[in-house]
Structure 1
Amino acid sequence: MVYFVGAGPGDVDLITVKGRKLLEKADVIIYAGSLVSSEHLKFCREDAIIIDSSRLTLEEIIEYIRKYDGEDKVIVRLHTGDPTIYGAIGEQMDQMDKLGIKYEIIPGVSSFTASCSVLKKEFTVPKISQSIIITRLSGRTSVPESEDLELLAKHKASMAIFLSVQDIDKVVEKLIKGYEDENVPVAVVYKATWKDEKIILGTLKDIAEKVKSVGINKTAQILVGEFLKKSSRSLLYSKNFSHGFREAKE
């Protein structure tokens, strides 16, 4: 069996209990060494086979999986964050389907939720935004025209932008056109929950210069929206609101 495990955003204790248990018993761990903290490997068995996939091609990764699955070994494919978001697992699963290899996906904490957490904010604020758009800027990996950043920004929803901080000027240009406001608040979180985490706060007007001034050009989330500066009370705990467990008091 192969387990795709989300390692979480950085802090090794943000992996799920199920993910940690699988690491502890796995015979083989194939991990994304360029993004996943090596601290996770301390929880592996001393005799476990550890493979860093950062320099491997898809074909080479699948060959390792095919080889060790044929030896009835428990294999953990350790991905950063949550493997279902920009995890490139689809192409791996396609190959395993062809080979008849069984697999399971263990979700993890994504960097976009970790980034919001370290900011002590909530993406979904009543009367402000009840939607989150998770996206990226088109680059070496293209984005469908219908999902262009400018078009998505027109919704005025909360946004979490992956894999785009290296082109922060272009990101800002598109967002200003979409939001039609250069004063929309922005937070750039570099390596959320890692020891060298950095947080840059600003608006669409000044965030690009702030980010460039500290040299951030990778491994960062760009969070955008009014949720960063506004709050509003929900109905859930209002004394005037009834639900299945409580009657309204007034």
Structure 2
Amino acid sequence: MPRERHGTPPVGSRPMMSIDGLGDLWDTLFGAQTDPPALLVLITGAVALVVVSTRLPWRIARNAITIAHEGGHALVALLTGRKLHGIRLHSDTSGLTLSAGRPTGPGMILTLLAGYVAPPLVGLAGAWLLGGNRITLLLWVAVALLLAMLVMIRNVFGVVSLLITGALVFAVSWYATPQVQAAFAYAGVWFLLLGGVRPVVELQRLRSRGRMPASDADQLAGLTPFPPLFWVGVFALVNLAALLAGALLLAGPFLTDAGLTL
């Protein structure tokens, strides 16, 4: 079929968790944390902007954008009935998602469309959770999504990348103080929102030089009446809209201090 490139516990062990313990865990996971300082929201946004805007930090952090990008392809492929063969993540921050199914039609179009818009849309969902002060829930959802994606990774670098990212998020969610958790969560969401815009600019720059003839935009052009530049524009508009909406959600502390509400 066509494929898209896109017993008894040992001495010293912990006892089983009691019902009360499960209740405490449930409350911790789904309960709302306190409002973060408005300054924290501002500083984490500034840090994320610096990372996205500077060469070396972006080169390293861009792997997180690739994870979200390929995860978007994979999720939509499954939701549209395509058979997912696997995901590869590469050290140059590129990635590849392989799925099988009809080479044309809505399923293929949506699968191709999902990649570039996935990071800021994930960021927007994260901003919505942070707007309700569900910081712990956000971190645990991130760990769950990374674990779900791990089973579909088909190369060593991809496995290592997912394990490191998942271990970092889990460590923060389990061991860090509430203040550190808040800073980490806000920085991560800001990064997804801001970091989803730059790859679209890079995409068009490379396309204009003839270096990405099989990009998602070009493949979409081959499946629809619209040219590649139209799809680049769609990516940009969706990502900018997600950035604006996410920023408004994250700005809740500022609006509250000013006596305003969304």
Q: Does the alignment reach a TM-score above 0.5?
A: no
Bigger RCO (CA 8 Å, 6+ sep): 2
TM-score by length of 2: 0.24
More helix by share: 2
TM-score by length of 1: 0.25
